[in-house]
Structure formats: C-alpha cells, structure tokens
Amino acid sequence: MCSNLVSEHRSSGITTTPSRKKSNSFILNFLSLIPLFFLFRYSKQVNIRVIDQEDKEKWTWTGAIDLSAIGTINLLARSADKSESKFLKIKATTYTCSIYVEFEEQAPEETSLRVQNDLEELDIVFFQTCVKAGEGFTVPKHGSLPYAWHNPYRTREIYVDFHYGSEVIHDTSNKFSFDAINKTIETVVPIPNEERTITIHTRVQIQGNTRILRFYKDTDAKNKKKADEVALMSLQLKLTGIGFSLISSIPKIKSEVIYASIKGIEVAMLTTNLTQAVQLRVKYVNIDNNSYIGTMFPVFLTPSNPKDLLNPASKSFFIDIAILQNLESKEVSFHSLVPCVY
C-alpha cells in the first residue's frame, strides 16, 4: 500500500505546480479519509504523486485522472529516474450525493494489466500512444511486465516496437488495446538486413483479474488444416443517431423527465458454415436526468471521454459487444464469465 499520496488540481488543462501554488494540493495519508472540494467548476482532473518519507522527490507526478468518472482506473506512478514503478488502482463510487475515491497500490504480480512476450527472436518495447517511446517498458524474450496507464484520461492504447538485436522495428500501425479480448491479431514484422519476415500473433487473455496482452509466434498455424469458410448470411445495420424523450404529465404541466441520445449505432450479423457471429457497437450514449430541478446529477449516463469517441477518426466505442459461436463443435457446453478488470 502507498504510504502517502499528494493530489494536485488542474485548471483548464494547465497543471499548477505545487511549489508555485501549494494551496492547490492536498496530502492523503495512509489509511485516511479526507473531504475534497474542487476549486474550479468545470475541471475535475487531478494529478497524483507518491510521497516517500526518506526521499520526497523520488516519485514524479502522474498523468491526469478525472475523479468524477465513476469506475476503476489503473494509474502508473514512476520514480524520477524511471527505475521503479507503482501500480495504483483508483476506484470512484457514489453514495448519496458524494463521490468516494479509493486509492490502492497493486502488487506487480496482481496488476489488472500485463504484457507478455513469448517470442523467440524479438524483444518488445511498449508505451501508451500519448507518451514518448523513451517512457516505455522493455519486455525481453519469454518475459512479462505489469502495466498501468501513464495517462488514463487519454486514449487507452499502446504502441509496440520490436527489437531485433540492435535494430528497432517501428511502425505506427503496431497499436494495440487491452479491450480486444480473445481476438487474435496478426502482425507481419520485416527483419532488417534479412530477406524474411516474422508473423506475430497478439491476443488479450484473462487470467484471474488480469488482462494479459500476449505476443507469440504460432508455429502450428501452417500445419493446421481447416475447412474452407463460406458465408451463408451477412447483415449490417448502421444508424447515425437516435434520441428518446420521456414526457411526464404529472402534474398537469407536461415536462421532460429523461432524454437519451445514442449515436453511431452499428449492428452486424454473419453466419458461415463454420461460425456464427453477432456484434453490437455504439459510439456515444448520453442520458439526461430531468426528474426534478434540484437534482445533484443532471447527467445520468455519459462517457468520460466524449471528444475521443465523437472524433470521426477514432476507433473507440462506448459499447462494443461481440458474440462468436463455433458451429463445428458438437455436444460441447461452455460457459465463460468475463470480469470487468479494466
């Protein structure tokens, strides 16, 4: 567990350094509970810093987190020389009219995210897409490392560079997410100064409460024989957006109680002789709560990063559900429970 934490308030995206304005920071001691009031109306972002009693300058400030975003966040704290890391699990919940934020340090072997390198010839360096490669972590052959986000408020994806000896193989298309659970991604990596390539498979697997992003070479892929897959039925439906409004006539004056806006709805169905797949994706959902004028929560449900979701170039979705059935399997009953560990 962390001994002490210091939090720093951010205003309009500009960080106020504690040494310049200490009134904007507060100290959260180990196993303590303190009230927090924001100094600014619109920004509810804070930075975290671990306090070492022997060396108060050992740990640097983390990336920004939004304390109003209900849910669980995995945050990375690093020492100034980048030789040590702490993995913080931050859980925000609501009770009556208050938001409770709980900070917990996870042991390296119990983190929610992990990267595993099962390759024979390549080391990998991975880093969040919003930071520089120098901030990344190196995973040697047959090794694995725990991970948490440098900046959870930004897009939660990582770049991966492959190292072959002293050569660095970098490609901006080598971008991966911990959300693609049990989906195999194939990457072809050209080997420098050699006329050959290495085909790498990537897959996110869940073990306990940990999502593991695994890189491996499928040596048996060429030896596997599979029947040709033929599409029997394909259906796609896309809606730009739709809105729902719930109107109350009690009392006699009609008023809007709830308004829901849903954008970027995609439904797809595919049936082949081998598999049957159904997928539902929604870009953006916003539900306003107008049940009474004095409500403390005028927004019932909304994404924490709406700008990223509504960006036309973004590949992120607020809701992404995919169900795949293997029609080749006979007399097999399989039930899987996927916990939420993001």
Convert 234-276 into a string of H (helix), E (strand) and C (coil). Answer: EEEEEEEEEEEEEEECCCCCCEEEEEEEEEEEEEEEEEECCEE
So what's the pLDDT on residue 111?
A: 92
Cα 128 to Cα 105: distance, rounded to the nearest angstrom: 20
pLDDT of 289 higher than 60 = yes
275 and 195 within one domain? no
pLDDT of 190 higher than 80 = yes
Torsion over CA: 99, 102, 103, 105 (sign): negative
> Average pLDDT, stretch 112-125?
93
Residue 159: is it exposed, middle or buried by C-beta count within 10 angstroms (0-12/13-18/19+)?
buried
Query: Is 253 domain-assigned?
Result: yes
Most distant CA pair in the chain, distance: 79
> Average pLDDT, stretch 305-320?
84
Query: How many residues are listed for the chain in this entry?
Result: 342
Residue 251: cis peptide before it, omega within 30 degrees of 0? yes
Query: Is 11 domain-assigned?
Result: yes
Residue 277: is it exposed, middle or buried by C-beta count within 10 angstroms (0-12/13-18/19+)?
middle
The residue out of 191, 216, 241 marking a domain boundary is 216
So what's the pLDDT on residue 34?
A: 73
Q: Which of 246, 256, 251 is nearest to 290 (CA)?
A: 256
E strand or H helix that includes residue 89? strand 85-95
The DSSP bridge pattern shows strands 275-289 and 319-326 to be antiparallel
pLDDT band at 24 (very low <50, low <70, confident <90, very high): low
97 and 43 within one domain? yes
The residue out of 216, 242, 272 marking a domain boundary is 216
> Average pLDDT, stretch 155-173?
91
pLDDT of 3 higher than 50 = no
So what's the pLDDT on residue 255?
A: 77
pTM for this entry: 0.60
Structural domain of residue 51, as residue ranges?
4-106
pLDDT band at 328 (very low <50, low <70, confident <90, very high): low
Query: Is 301 domain-assigned?
Result: yes
Cα 164 to Cα 58: distance, rounded to the nearest angstrom: 33
Cβ neighbour number for residue 314 with a 10 Å cutoff: 14
118 and 212 within one domain? yes
pLDDT band at 193 (very low <50, low <70, confident <90, very high): confident
> Average pLDDT, stretch 125-136?
90
253 and 241 within one domain? yes
Query: Is 81 domain-assigned?
Result: yes
242 and 195 within one domain? no
So what's the pLDDT on residue 92?
A: 84
Name, in order, each residue with C-beta under 8 angstroms of 285's C-beta and a sequence gap of 6 or more: 260, 261, 262, 263, 301, 302, 303, 318, 319
208 and 241 within one domain? no
Name, in order, each residue with C-beta under 8 angstroms of 94's C-beta and a sequence gap of 6 or more: 70, 100
Convert 105-143 into a string of H (helix), E (strand) and C (coil). Answer: EECHHHCCEEEEECCCCCEEEEEECCCCHHHCEEECCCE
pLDDT of 127 higher than 90 = yes
So what's the pLDDT on residue 145?
A: 95
Beta bridge partners of 145: 115
So what's the pLDDT on residue 41?
A: 60
Cα 120 to Cα 140: distance, rounded to the nearest angstrom: 10
99 and 43 within one domain? yes
263 and 211 within one domain? no
Query: Is 338 domain-assigned?
Result: no
Q: Which residues of 212-234 are buried (b: 16+ CB within 10 A; e: fewer)?
A: bbbbeeeeeeeeeeeeeeeeeee
Please give the backbone phi and psi of residue 133, each rounded to the nearest 5 degrees, phi first. -60, -30
pLDDT band at 149 (very low <50, low <70, confident <90, very high): very high
Query: pLDDT of 57-70, one tens digit each?
Result: 888 888 888 877 78
Is residue 271 within 8 A of residue 251, CB to CB? The reply is no
- Identify residue 328 by its one-letter amino acid code: E
Query: Is 259 domain-assigned?
Result: yes
pLDDT of 241 higher than 60 = yes
So what's the pLDDT on residue 340?
A: 45
Query: Is 252 domain-assigned?
Result: yes
Tokens of 230: 């033929």
So what's the pLDDT on residue 336?
A: 46
Per the structure, how many domains does the chain have?
3
So what's the pLDDT on residue 335?
A: 46
Is residue 320 within 8 A of residue 178, CB to CB? The reply is no
Query: Is 152 domain-assigned?
Result: yes
pLDDT band at 15 (very low <50, low <70, confident <90, very high): very low
The residue out of 160, 181, 216 marking a domain boundary is 216
